[in-house]
Structure 1
């Protein structure tokens, strides 16, 4: 027997598999919900996890649930459908949404869960699927202090860094700001590379100046790994998800009454990529898409 909280996990895809793997391997009882891709599910079952057939069943069997799905519509469905988490909620249940979601929706769901004796936190992620596997993600957490104290040890199973930002909803606000900056970089890099090629500056020359300079960062390195070496797996975040995140950022800025000129320009770069049918490609492929739009052949 263990005195550790029973953990539930929904969304064992690119990021979620590594997170769930670290939870079960570090000693927490883990129940996962079936995924359309059975490979990560079967792997986790072999490592000692059990499987629930619905969000309601998962909630009934868990003390803390982590959700790692695409965004707000998926989270709201998991919470509110007839066999959803709210239907199986019980006193003391904590639901931690690690997705990138609309903050106002998170606050509304938290109120619904509180009415059933539970609590909600938002802990969106920073990092890559490779970092999820090694337990080196970061988490930006919105939660009441007592809720954060309870969930932090589990977060530390998959995160090297966890920052408590404030009340529920603040994690998703900060995540949207974080992704605005990172995806803004992506749109800027893609356009700069297109201009460079048009004026006779190769990607290698471009990189020889920026890499290691004050302009360098981890996002730049994974973005450029595809451009320089053709590694399609270097930065596994889809253009569709990038567009979604910048739509959420725009909605937050609109609600706050802020003119979001640069955010709108970045969003439109990703909207264009999705609009021409490239939404399932990864963010670094945007460099090819912008090049192609300007009459140059890309790799993707």
Structure 2
């Protein structure tokens, strides 16, 4: 798989690190500007090729990775004018690492399959630091044979790769995963505000929870911001979190599942987004909940 021509669209916080790993680990890489021109320039300086459209990339590449915001962006890149379908040829594999709506993923897979193209959903777990280090988690939905074909490429940026089922299963599992992590964020934020109100500082909170069984990787990055005010500790925006929780709600509705906790978590992120703080990062939810309770976040 190392000899395949690989394309990458979506060179954001996660995508640039992933694409860099693909390139430095021996793959011929083609990139396209989406939002971050400077990321393209850095990769071209390392030896990547640049194209102007997804259609052009589809003509040149054997595998294309997408790492964009969500389903509307994925659909536009695949089906839109100058999109992947316009330049696709049989045998091309498209790997969507975004967090997307499973219904859209399954529909796109069917349309691509009609053109002889395979779609793989491989949403991510981890942080931009993990993307740069090549230690992300990938939750992969794919035909077993296609999974084995692309696994070596995914391994360039993921230390943990789980084949969770057919196309669409990766995005389903990712939404459940993000429900848990963002649920933690809402719980931590409310617990910290309650603690502050009753005389338990964030430092005391951390001295207990940070040494107990409830500690986890998400807790560590969340609390790094709370304790040290490092704004880059976990660069995942409120707007992206809110989007993922809306997708989760749609999946629950389609499955006929009662999801009161999912709705409560979603509404907390909706409130912060509506307050004009959508581009802040998830750990900053602690500050938002503090202000809701008449508390002043630490500076």
Report the Cα offset of residue 251 of structure 1. Answer: 0.4
Q: Distance in 1 between matches of 2:81 and 2:287?
A: 44
Report the Cα offset of residue 294 of structure 1. Answer: 1.0
Any stretches of 5+ residues in structure 2 without a counterpart?
Answer: none
Report the Cα offset of residue 128 of structure 1. Answer: 0.4
Q: Distance in 2 between matches of 1:84 and 1:37?
A: 19
Equivalent runs, 1:73-222 vs 2, <5 Å: 73-222=72-221
Equivalent runs, 1:34-49 vs 2, <5 Å: 34-49=33-48
Q: Distance in 2 between matches of 1:3 and 1:200?
A: 57
Over residues 124-157 of structure 1, what are the superposed CA-to-partner deviations in whole Å (9 max), with x where a residue is unaligned? 0000000100111010000001110111000000
Over residues 277-296 of structure 1, what are the superposed CA-to-partner deviations in whole Å (9 max), with x where a residue is unaligned? 00000001000100101111
- State yes or no: 1:5 paired with 2:4: yes
Equivalent runs, 1:19-34 vs 2, <5 Å: 19-34=18-33
Distance of aligned partners of 1:206 and 1:31 in 2 relative to their CA distance in 1, 3 Å threshold: same
Report the Cα offset of residue 35 of structure 1. Answer: 3.0
Aligned positions, number: 299
- State yes or no: 1:268 paired with 2:249: no
Over residues 89-148 of structure 1, what are the superposed CA-to-partner deviations in whole Å (9 max), with x where a residue is unaligned? 101000000000000100000011111111100000000000100111010000001110
Q: Distance in 1 between matches of 2:62 and 2:106?
A: 20
8 Å Cα contact 2:222/2:234 also seen in 1:
yes
Q: Distance in 2 between matches of 1:81 and 1:248?
A: 22
8 Å Cα contact 2:64/2:95 also seen in 1:
yes
8 Å Cα contact 2:57/2:84 also seen in 1:
yes
Over residues 5-51 of structure 1, what are the superposed CA-to-partner deviations in whole Å (9 max), with x where a residue is unaligned? 11010001100000000001111111011133221111100111101
- State yes or no: 1:292 paired with 2:291: yes
Over residues 207-257 of structure 1, what are the superposed CA-to-partner deviations in whole Å (9 max), with x where a residue is unaligned? 111002011001001001111111111010001111100000010001000
The residue matched to 2:164 in structure 1 has which SS?
Answer: strand
Q: Distance in 1 between matches of 2:216 and 2:121?
A: 26
8 Å Cα contact 2:176/2:248 also seen in 1:
yes
Q: Which runs of 4+ in 1 moved over 2 A?
A: none
Report the Cα offset of residue 83 of structure 1. Answer: 0.7
Query: What is aligned with 1:243?
Result: 242
Question: What is the TM-score normalised by the length of structure 1?
Answer: 0.98
Any stretches of 5+ residues in structure 1 without a counterpart?
Answer: none
8 Å Cα contact 2:12/2:35 also seen in 1:
no
Query: What is aligned with 2:14?
Result: 15
